Chain A
Amino acid sequence: MNEPNGDVIQGTLDLLILKTLSLQPLHGFGIARRIEQISRDVFKVNPGSLLTALQRLERAGWLDAEWRQTENARRAKYYSLTRTGRKQLEVETADWNRRALAVARLLKAEG
């Protein structure tokens, strides 16, 4: 398997969604697009996982969802971050940084 692994790291999809939505409200496809763009196509988002995750985050009260007209006059479900979602983003960001730092240290120690 020489192909670079493009799957979103387990457990980080929520973080990526929250971060993306903290910039502006988006629909599902927009979120996927934005993640791929910002990560410069490192991450490929599986649509099934994405839509399930959106459902779950909405249920948890971190996202609000609203059916709106898109620029080209179609109905789409737009997601935006709630206040608790914003707090959750801070928590998950801090958590991610802590882990990333730990992994970096481990790698350095080995090298």
Chain B
Amino acid sequence: MNPVGIWRRMARGVRALVNRPDTDREIADEVQHYLDLATEAHRAQGLSAADALRAARLELGSATAVREQVRSHGWENAVDTAVADLRYAGRRLRAAPGFTVVAVMTLGIGIGASAAIFSAVKPILFEPLPYPAAGRLTMIWEAGPDGARLAGTFGAYRTLEERSHSFDALAVMKGWQPTVTGGDRPERLEGQAVSSSYFRTLGVSLALGADFQSADDRRGGTRVAILSDQLWRRRFGADRSIIGRTIPLDDDPYLVVGVLPAGFEPVLAPAAEVWTPLQYDLADGRAWGHHLRTVGRLKPGVGIDQARSELAAIAPDLAKTAAAAAGFFPGGFGLVRLKDEVNGGVRDALWAVIGAVALVLIIASVNVTNLLLARGAHRQGELAVRATLGAGRARLVRQLLTESLLLATLGGVVGMAVAWLGVRALVAASPANLPRLSAIAVDGSVFAFGFGLTTLVGLAFGLAPALQAAGRDPPEGLQWTTRRTVGGHRRTRRALVIAEVALALVLLVTSGLLLRSLSRLLAVDTGFEAANRLTMQIQTAGHRFAADSVTTGFFAEALDRVRGLPGVVSAGLVNQLPLSGDRDEFGAHFEAGPAEAPKAFNGFRYAVSPGYLETMGIPLRRGRLLENRDQAGAPLSVLISESLARRAVPVGDPIGHRLRIGAPDGPAYTIVGVVGDVRHASLGLTESEAVYTTLAQWRFADNAMSLVVRVARNPGALAGTAREAIWSVDRNQAIVRVATMEDLVAASAAERRFALRLFEAFALAALVLAAAGIHGVMSASVAERTREIGVRSALGASRGSMLAMVVREGMALAGVGVLLGLAGAILATRAIEAMLFGISRHDPPTYLGVTAVLGAVALMACGVPAWRAARVDPATTLRTE
């Protein structure tokens, strides 16, 4: 067919569609003209006027049929039929508003939940990181022989840069929180100090200005900074002349050399808005401190295993280099793809969530199928009449499928609205550490996903009733209208209800397990008392604090003022607060006896003011706590945690042992006491090795300290006065992270609570849908058997026995569903095993509990139809027959 022809067909088709009445009239005219001429021809052969017309009509056949025949030609007529089908389907759905609303809402919830979850997991599971050739980006860390992870060092980074040939580029980074001054108010920024190769490694080009140069890495070099697009717009009014100007950060002028593109997503530090070169060198005291993160871009064609073995080959030499520089290298490297590093923690959980939402969608579809089948039973008569009047089987199937697709589309529209709201709720409720949070949005691909899902669902639940309807002979269908017989479709519907109950039980078990895990987690002994403690972080910045003594003095003064506030029981300072996200670990090198090998352990390093442990309620197990006499110049004292004591000094009294913190050649501290273990990183983790020194006896002043205040009651109310008390010492210091200790404990369980909320929502939806399914099937069963029930009661069956009959039938369905569901749950809970805490995935109380819940709900769902069955009046029933 030539293109002109196609065009012509299209044009005529469209014209025919638009001008349907005109086209019809034209065809009618033509047919009429034909008929006239044929009649004349017959008259010319001598027939009478009436006979001529009859003969012509006979020849032509029914004029209507001819018109229809002519009309049915052309693609526009297929559209016409579809439109007619749609209109009819629309009328059918409007005629049963109850059914339509229930079905559309059910589908809307299923499709909406699926689309919302899809949009949330898409960036994490299905998209590469937002960098060019992101598959080549890797994360590198230092690893001990037992595989324990240790943060990277600048020394190791430099060695790898020189020796490794696997990488196009390597970069190191650490957190950096400068305060930007000038403008109306100071603002604490989240940023990163990085090697100049950072953006080159990620493959990111700047929108304005130029990337860092290797000269910027020089220690004591010019202070330069690169800004994120957001910071540039928010703080500097998107002024393009910012490049080459200086901005004051922590009282120092920083030269702005570049601005990142708006689409840049700092996956490695999601909140970061400003970057500056790290400016370390090997002579720097920090060169062998384990506090950096290392990222590397593999050369094209270099596999991850190849890179691993090269790193392993470099490791022994590095250990010697480190030892020579009085540093420490744990003996090996770890290397994973950056994507796995970023998403690894949540990937399994997300797959479990996808599984859960898929179950909800399946249950929703099963429910709608059931509704359609129930309707199908009532529609047998209508369909049979249509078939008898000449509607082809294909035509009927097409009609029914149109109806279910229309239903699915309505459900899809509701679903996309649900998804749009759901994603908002998800983002608002999601724990802060969900990776790539900023990339979660309802976009074109989510709509495409929702649309595809809708079509699939529409076909899936439409096919069963359509085939069922088409497969029956018209005469049999006509008999159906009398509802005397009960047919095989009931078996299908029962099977569907059983499936629904089973799937709902799986979801109930999963959320039950998560719920119990959360309560176990919140019941964990944190090692400190959380009630009535207010915390806040005080950050010092500026040249005023160049000398450690000034910093120490400021904190001491601030602590004194807070202690003087009314209502304060006690107060203390600590460099890293448990459950706050702070993490500062040092090696604890124990002095060895003459016959012993030296022992070193990694542990949290707490620098505290005397009174911190008392304020937190951390119990003293042995010896004494830190006191005011443990000041600068006094003998160095240290407390260790129980776990560290058990590991380092398994026999005998640890009091009096000596250890060095950080460098093995540093000053030795004498252990004066053993204190209880504390959950530091999270409630679920039992990393409890820790050392405590006083602020005064630590070798440098931390520039950010957390204040903990114990009050008699209502800790939140003290926040304002405490802040004012600190600002009365120095107005210009930032106070952040104001929270009660109880808030921090709750936040630590946020991730689990989030997962639990999701599963709870899904399980609740599943339970409601399953209940609706049981109710629907039992109602239909009672309605179909009204006559049988009537006969039975006429023969003397009691109302109670009728009630029992229906309940028994419904509960048998639920029972089979529960058994299948329990088996399914035993298998399916493997997916959430990693998310459990403190219980087995076969936890019997959970299984028993949810079975009881489901049983109770099923009983209620049977109740209404059973009650209706019991009230069947035999006289009325028999009379209507």
Binding site for B on A (CB under 8 A): 27-30, 32-33, 46-49, 51-52, 55-56, 58-61, 74-77, 84
Contact = CB atoms under 8 A, between A and B. Distances in A.
A74 B33 contact: yes
Interface stretch (B57-65, B308-316, B358-366, B641-649): B57-65
Contact of B29 (A33, A55, A75): A75
A5 to B, nearest CB: 17
Contacts of A74: 33, 36
A60 B5 contact: yes
B73 interface: yes
B70 A77 contact: no
A100 to B, nearest CB: 26
Contacts of B8: 59-61
Given A48-B60, A51-B66, A61-B8, A77 B74 contact: no
B546 to A, nearest CB: 89
B74 A59 contact: yes
A55 B70 contact: yes
B848 to A, nearest CB: 71
- The SS class assigned to the B binding surface is helix
Given A48-B61, A48-B65, A61-B8, A55 B74 contact: yes
A29 B69 CA distance: 17
Contacts of A56: 73-74
B522 interface: no
Contact of B31 (A46, A51, A58): A51
B34 interface: yes
Interface in B34-93: 34, 36-38, 41, 59-61, 65-66, 69-70, 73-74
A55 B2 CA distance: 18
Given A48-B61, A52-B70, A75-B29, 10 more contacts: A28-B34, A29-B34, A29-B37, A47-B66, A48-B69, A48-B70, A51-B30, A59-B8, A59-B73, A61-B5
- For the complex of A and B, list the 10 residue pairs with the smallest distance between their C-beta atoms, beginning with the closest: A29-B37, A48-B66, A47-B60, A48-B69, A61-B8, A29-B34, A61-B5, A51-B70, A77-B30, A52-B70
Nearest to B74: A59
Contacts of A48: 60-61, 65-66, 69-70
B73 A55 contact: yes
Contacts of B36: 74
A76 B33 contact: yes
- The SS class assigned to the A binding surface is helix
A67 to B, nearest CB: 8
27 contacts: A27-B37, A28-B30, A28-B34, A29-B41, A46-B61, A47-B31, A47-B60, A47-B61, A48-B60, A48-B61, A48-B70, A51-B30, A55-B73, A55-B74, A56-B73, A56-B74, A58-B12, A59-B8, A60-B8, A61-B4, A74-B33, A74-B36, A75-B33, A76-B30, A76-B33, A77-B33, A84-B5
Contacts of A46: 61
B29 A47 contact: no
A55 B76 CA distance: 13
B716 to A, nearest CB: 79
B101 to A, nearest CB: 44
B9 interface: yes
A37 B357 CA distance: 73
A51 to B, nearest CB: 5
A32 B66 CA distance: 15
Nearest to A51: B70
Nearest to B61: A48
B33 A29 contact: yes
Contacts of B70: 48, 51-52, 55
Nearest to B8: A61
A29 B66 CA distance: 14
A48 to B, nearest CB: 4
Contacts of A61: 4-5, 8
Nearest to B56: A47
B873 to A, nearest CB: 58
A47 B9 CA distance: 23
B9 A59 contact: yes
